[in-house]
Copies of this chain bind each other. A is one copy, B any other.
Amino acid sequence: MLKYQHIAAEIEKYIQEHALQQGDKLPVLDELMVQFGVSKSTIIKSLELLEERGVIFQVRGSGIFVRRHGRKGYISLLKNQGFTRDLDHFPITSQVLELSVRKPTREAATNLNISMEQDVYYVKRVRYIYEQTLCVEESYYNKAIVTYLNNEIVSDSIFDYIREGLGLKIGFSDSYLHVGKLEEEEAGHLGLHKGDPKLDVETIFHLANGQPFDFSRITYNYIQSQFFIQANGHGM
């Protein structure tokens, strides 16, 4: 963790510990520098990070303010690090339906920017929140990047393993959302009925160097899942 990331985490902790609410004002820049014992440029980078994450907003000439926190139990559609973290007050478990090495579908190959001859790890799992089904997920990992997976890893957070076990740096992601009706097989996995509403989220996850490493499609149980998005309005 870089220094400005560490300071950002400290400021976020400060907001939580003081139970600050939307619109509450934070100390001015100079005070924050003194309070955390770091340079002005570090504080500025920390604040930019917190603004991007939707924790604060800055008003030129007026100050730094706390931003509303997402409602509890909502899944952020912006944090591209797997949702185990959003729902960290909720117990998430996984049932692995399949883990295999295979050749990608044409769609997966295109999205991973690999040929159809290259190996991928294919993972299919149902995820549960408390004892309700949350979603069914199919993922294709480029095996040249994600070199190893086993049943124990995929029963838990695959992204934690990629970061900590493989030491890879996760970058940006592109997600595409469609609402539709459940197919029979999906409905079976989710404990719902064929034709019930569903949200499909297709995501291409990239490393920080821009290489796509994971193409996934998650089908959510519409009863159990709700989502939030915090957007910034910079210059658009």
Residues of A within 8 A of B (CB): 1-2, 5, 8, 22-23, 49, 52-54, 57, 59, 62, 65, 67-68, 70-71, 74, 77-81, 113, 170-181, 196-199, 204, 206, 208-210, 220, 222, 225-236
Chain B residue nearest in CB terms to A222:
B179
CA–CA, A78 and B76, complex, Å: 12
Would you call A229 and B197 a contact (CB within 8 A)?
no
- Smallest CB–CB gap between A181 and chain B, Å? 6
Q: Which residues of chain B are near A67, meaning CB under 8 Å?
A: 172, 210
Would you call B235 and A8 a contact (CB within 8 A)?
yes
CA–CA, A204 and B18, complex, Å: 25
- Smallest CB–CB gap between A77 and chain B, Å? 5
Would you call B198 and A179 a contact (CB within 8 A)?
yes
Interface centre among A1, A49, A170, A177 (most CB of B within 10 A): A177
CA–CA, A178 and B177, complex, Å: 12
- Smallest CB–CB gap between A75 and chain B, Å? 9
Would you call A233 and B173 a contact (CB within 8 A)?
yes
CA–CA, A173 and B228, complex, Å: 10
CA–CA, A171 and B59, complex, Å: 10
Chain B residue nearest in CB terms to A231:
B80
Are A174 and B234 CB-contacts (below 8 A) given A197-B179, A199-B199? no
Q: Which residues of chain B are near A231, meaning CB under 8 Å?
A: 77-80, 172-175
Would you call A226 and B172 a contact (CB within 8 A)?
no
Q: Which residues of chain B are near A229, meaning CB under 8 Å?
A: 77-78, 174-175, 177, 229
- Smallest CB–CB gap between A7 and chain B, Å? 11
Taking a contact as CB atoms closer than 8 A, the residue among B77, B79, B113, B197 that contacts A177 in the complex is B77
Would you call B179 and A225 a contact (CB within 8 A)?
yes
CA–CA, A116 and B171, complex, Å: 45
Chain B residue nearest in CB terms to A45:
B235
Q: Which residues of chain B are near A178, meaning CB under 8 Å?
A: 222, 226-227
Taking a contact as CB atoms closer than 8 A, the residue among B54, B81, B220, B232 that contacts A233 in the complex is B81
